[in-house]
Structure 1
Amino acid sequence: MLYAILKLIYKTGLQVFFRRFEVRNRSLMPDEGPLLVVSNHPNTFMDPIVTASLLRQPVHFIAKSTVFGSGFQSWMLRQMHLIPIHRREDNPDQAMSNDEAFAASFKALQQKKTLLIFPEGNSFNQRRLRKLKTGMARIALGAEADTNFGLGIKILPVGLNYTAPTRFRSDMFVNIGEPIVVADYATASQQDAQAAVLTLTEEIRQRLENLIIHTPTDEEDELARQIEAVYKEHLAAAAPPDAPAYEQDFLLTKAIVKSIGYFSQTAPARVAALKQKLNNYMLQLKRLRLQDAVMGKRSNAILQQSLLNLLYLTVGFPVYLYGLLHNYIPYIIPSKVARAVTKEEEWYAPIMLTVGIFTFPLFYLLAGWMATGLLDLTWPWALLYFLSLPLSGFFTLHYWNTLQRTQEHWLLFQLFIKRQNLISDLRQQRQVIIAELEAAKHDYMEELKLPFEGKASS
């Protein structure tokens, strides 16, 4: 009962927290077990919330034993379907046994339940898949071996891709992979159980890596993000429109990362030179408090958009103040709580989501009660007032983002008037970078005989 209530609450919260929440290949998700769901783990508690919200059936979670306390806390976590597992790194000086966790996992799968495991073990806010632990393969093969491979366990790989894991109203792309039938490893497991575990673990790793943006190092990830900022719009314009925008965006990023890996091996000097130009260009933009997006627009288009934005900001200012008055406190409290509770960025989003689930409804109810009592509102007016609170909140957020974009546009105009040579130089640098990226794309496709780079990783 507790699990069902929390799932409903969090599922609603996710639709508010993320600006765009997209799922690819949802039809591949089985509606029943025995099922073992495995996923990358970039965003701590947000990852199980996202994954479990997509499955119709209840999900049991494998969690590190250190989150379990004693008494009420342990009882609560078990009611939420968490199964504790001991990790050597949590208690390196003690001999740990996971017999209880494995027995509970076997029992859950034999009862045709669904388990969720994050085989990386720890959560890090990075666009990469770290080394996988073998526990999920041992659980799957062990449970099947106990019944002579007659259970029919499947392993479902799920790739979680966040545009900004710690930011409210960012984008979420969930990439579902083809399930793995564990019984296919029956012969291999019977011949050499340990080798089968390693083979299955490697199969899971490859599948997960294909479902996410995987950058091997922080340096390559930074380069990929810079190329995305400057060049992805050019790639998207040439891409065939046979895939949804969110899927196309993912494939383009995958192609960029793949091409960086290729040139890092075949032409490292070329990559180093491009990296230097991008770093210099981005550093100058940062010093001027500009984004690359405005540099690619024509001056007339920026002026026209700025004037429209100014009209919108003027007309919408009273609504902005109304929304700010009613939403600032419940909006700022989750952020303050998250930063007070932890310094680890990976925990910000789930804490903000959890706290926000309570602060917004409670504050809205309090505001509605006070307004009804003070203004003696009839129920239709009270309902209208209550509905205006979340709507004005979304408007206020959009208004603030528009205000920031408009400020950036006017800053660009001021620089263009006062320091025209500087802006011209930046735009020239941008054109040189884009020309080099175009040449690299041509060479890459010619070498690998690809019809279009955006489809390279599909």
Structure 2
Amino acid sequence: MSFSYRNIIITGYDKIKNRKPVLFVSNHQNTFMDGLVLVKVAKNINPNILVRADIFKSKWAALALDIIHLIPIYRKKDNMGSVAQNNEIFKKCIDLFRCGKTLLIFPEGNHAIKRFLRPMQKGPARISFQAEEENNFQLGLKVAPFGLHYESHPKRWHDLHVHFGEVFQVNDFKNIYKENPIKAQKQFSDKIKEGISAEMLDIKWHSEYDFMEEVRRLIKPYALDWADNKKSIVHAENEVLNKISNILKEDETKTEALKKETHTYFKVVKKHQLSPDFEAKIYNPFYLILKSLGLLIGFPFWLIAKLLNFIPEYIIEKKVIAGVKDITWHISLRTGISLFLYPIFYFIILLILGFSLGWILAGILVFTFPVISVIMYETEYHLKELKNAFILFRKPQILKQEQELVNEFKTLIVK
């Protein structure tokens, strides 16, 4: 995970980290990477994760996934397993709660790359109420909604946001459940949806999703200034985007005009090969000189890392990723395969260097390989930023066009 993301920004975890048993619920945008995120963040509670059973088809995959505490759930549309097997899985989950352990479920039931929350499935409600009912509502099961936001879903070395919301107890629904179980499950699922939505980027205007995604990219540098909720950039973007969408829904003419302007602007951005996550601003020349010097220093490390990692990167990128059309699997596969491939590869290099140079020197050299890889990622990140800066320096009309468009959106929501 540390070699997959540049920054992992976490808020709200302190209010849940010492409370067990817990059912974690989250949005699901990035295959099994979403589960690995909680494994990394929640080190002290070692969460178990409920995932679809079709990823367990291979024996080697099943063994690897079991190591990181993934539990299969059988879905009808996958044509795997049976209701009886799922009942056994439910029992296993309830036993985990009885032992004071934790479980992560993705209530949407499947993953999708778009930045909005899809309808909730009944699984979390069924497991939660069954667990409490079998223990006379004495289990004390807590539910912890959290939101995930990937700056880039498929690519390495972008920021990842993990935001935990308000915890609630299954027992809060005890009386309603005893009177009307279906009503209780509906209210429980609605509570989960509300909790997750508040902690992620949830673009609710689905019919204009592509337009709102472009607006998100445009207003991101200004969201914290415009929003009341300054908990994180994700909370700010979520607030601002949904304010804009609510206003534009009432004015079709304004919507069409802004949509056309925004799309035209991003066509210019693409034409001049600015990276998708560029920030439209004028950079201080002294800052650009320092950044250029830093890149010159970083270049030898970049070259060394490229040469060192050529074999595992070739296997991952050319033999695995190149054949996977669903880009939401890319970062998960990169991280999952790297978890096993890189230690094996570095161990082989250690053996070769150990017999030829001596074990102490070999150990020191191999220990530096991951550090050099981080320098490589950082060099590529800053090179991209420098490239964007020079393009904007040569094309100041892009900055002018961006500011005019930003001001139009600002007048919609900032009084």
Q: TM-score, normalised by structure 1?
A: 0.80
**What is residue 346 of structure 2 aligned with on the other side?**
364
Structure 1 residue 297 and structure 2 residue 292: aligned?
no
**What is residue 136 of structure 2 aligned with on the other side?**
148
Amino acid across the alignment from 2:253: A
Q: 1 CA distance for matches of 2:282 and 2:376? A: 26
Q: 1:259 aligns with which of 219, 222, 243?
A: 243
Q: 2:402 aligns with which of 409, 430, 445?
A: 430
Report the secondary structure of 1:334's partner residue. helix
Structure 1 residue 285 and structure 2 residue 269: aligned?
yes
Aligned-residue identity in percent = 25
**What is residue 327 of structure 2 aligned with on the other side?**
345
Amino acid across the alignment from 1:347: W
Q: 2 CA distance for matches of 1:53 and 1:401? A: 23
Q: 2 CA distance for matches of 1:154 and 1:294? A: 41
Q: 2:7 aligns with which of 11, 17, 20?
A: 20
**What is residue 96 of structure 2 aligned with on the other side?**
108
Extract unaligned runs of 5+ from structure 2.
Answer: none
Report the alpha carbon displacement of residue 109 of structure 1 after superposing the two structures with TM. Answer: 2.4
Report the secondary structure of 1:257's partner residue. helix
Aligned-pair Cα RMSD in Å: 3.1
CA contact (8 A) 2:223 2:240 kept: no
Q: Describe how 1:337-416 pairs up with structure 2 within 5 A.
A: 337-340=319-322, 342-374=324-356, 376-377=357-358, 379=360, 381-412=361-392, 416=394
Report the alpha carbon displacement of residue 208 of structure 1 after superposing the two structures with TM. Answer: 1.0
Q: 2 CA distance for matches of 1:397 and 1:70? A: 32
**What is residue 322 of structure 1 aligned with on the other side?**
304
Q: 2 CA distance for matches of 1:84 and 1:248? A: 33
Q: Describe how 1:78-117 pairs up with structure 2 within 5 A.
A: 81-91=69-79, 96-97=83-84, 98-117=86-105
CA contact (8 A) 2:227 2:240 kept: no
CA contact (8 A) 2:105 2:124 kept: yes
Deviations 1:85-132 (A, max 9, x none): 33232239x984533233333333233332221111111112111111
Q: 1 CA distance for matches of 2:269 and 2:70? A: 47
Q: 2 CA distance for matches of 1:64 and 1:235? A: 36
Q: In terms of Rg, which structure is larger?
A: 1
Q: TM-score, normalised by structure 2?
A: 0.87
Q: 2 CA distance for matches of 1:72 and 1:427? A: 52
Amino acid across the alignment from 1:223: F
Q: 1 CA distance for matches of 2:113 and 2:208? A: 15
Report the alpha carbon displacement of residue 274 of structure 1 after superposing the two structures with TM. Answer: 1.3
Q: 2 CA distance for matches of 1:370 and 1:175? A: 44
Q: 2 CA distance for matches of 1:96 and 1:378? A: 55
Report the alpha carbon displacement of residue 212 of structure 1 after superposing the two structures with TM. Answer: 0.9
**What is residue 65 of structure 1 aligned with on the other side?**
53
Report the alpha carbon displacement of residue 225 of structure 1 after superposing the two structures with TM. Answer: 3.7
Q: 1 CA distance for matches of 2:374 and 2:110? A: 34
Report the alpha carbon displacement of residue 226 of structure 1 after superposing the two structures with TM. Answer: 2.9
Q: 2 CA distance for matches of 1:311 and 1:74? A: 48
Q: 1 CA distance for matches of 2:173 and 2:299? A: 63
Q: Compare 71-80 and 336-345 and name the one that shifted more.
A: 71-80
**What is residue 256 of structure 2 aligned with on the other side?**
272
Distance 1:141 1:166, change over 3 A: same
Distance 1:412 1:178, change over 3 A: closer
Report the alpha carbon displacement of residue 279 of structure 1 after superposing the two structures with TM. Answer: 0.7
Report the secondary structure of 1:297's partner residue. coil
Structure 1 residue 49 and structure 2 residue 36: aligned?
yes
Report the alpha carbon displacement of residue 256 of structure 1 after superposing the two structures with TM. Answer: 2.2
CA contact (8 A) 1:127 1:214 kept: yes
Q: 2 CA distance for matches of 1:427 and 1:75? A: 52
Paired residues, what number?
412
Extract unaligned runs of 5+ from structure 1.
Answer: 1-13, 417-422, 444-458
Amino acid across the alignment from 1:399: T
Q: 1 CA distance for matches of 2:297 and 2:281? A: 28
Structure 1 residue 170 and structure 2 residue 158: aligned?
yes
**What is residue 448 of structure 1 aligned with on the other side?**
none
Amino acid across the alignment from 2:408: E
Q: 2 CA distance for matches of 1:322 and 1:290? A: 27
Q: 2 CA distance for matches of 1:108 and 1:425? A: 59
CA contact (8 A) 1:32 1:114 kept: no
Amino acid across the alignment from 2:173: Y
Q: Describe how 1:166-205 pairs up with structure 2 within 5 A.
A: 166-205=154-193
Q: 1 CA distance for matches of 2:90 and 2:341? A: 38
Distance 1:185 1:25, change over 3 A: same
